[in-house]
Amino acid sequence: MPGHLLGDSGYPRRKYLLTPVINMTRPTTEVTTTRNTIERAFGVLKRRFAHLGSTIRTKINTIKAIIVSSFVLHNIAIMTRVLLPEEVGKEEMDAVHIQ
């Protein structure tokens, strides 16, 4: 599968790995912004599906299927307005304060 991996400046430069480059503002900003967006997306996914926050010991193709299906289920949850776990308690507290 063609593509690139995004990393921070702690990773060495490789053909397949995009990392921020010192003294290059636009490409560095784009790589950093994209990487931060991806990190936030995985953070939300880990809050919804706690098992993604731990090591998954299985074949790489199975791991890819788990991650893709988790994103699909997450998108369905958004469309059907299913709250993230920490938001459930907050909504209940908000309802108490509204009454």
Tokens representing residue 40 in the block: 């936030």
Query: What confidence score (pLDDT) does residue 59 get?
Result: 92
Domain range list for the chain: 5-98
Reported in sequence order, the residue ranges of 15-91 that DSSP labels E, i.e. its strands, are: 17-18
Is residue 90 within 8 Å of residue 64, measured between CB atoms? no
Query: What confidence score (pLDDT) does residue 94 get?
Result: 45
Query: What confidence score (pLDDT) does residue 69 get?
Result: 93
Q: Which residues contact 73 (CB under 8 A, 6 or more apart)?
A: 49
Tokens representing residue 67 in the block: 């991650």
Query: What confidence score (pLDDT) does residue 24 get?
Result: 61
Q: Give the span between the Cα atoms of 71 and 38, in whole angstroms.
A: 12
Is residue 55 within 8 Å of residue 81, measured between CB atoms? no
Query: How many angstroms from the chain centroid is the CA of residue 84?
Result: 14
Query: What confidence score (pLDDT) does residue 9 get?
Result: 77
- Along the 99 residues of the chain, how does pLDDT read in single tens digits? 577 787 777 888 888 887 777 666 666 677 778 888 888 888 888 888 888 888 888 998 998 899 899 989 989 988 998 877 776 555 544 443 333
- Which residues share a beta bridge with 5? 17
Query: How many angstroms from the chain centroid is the CA of residue 63?
Result: 15
Query: What confidence score (pLDDT) does residue 89 get?
Result: 57
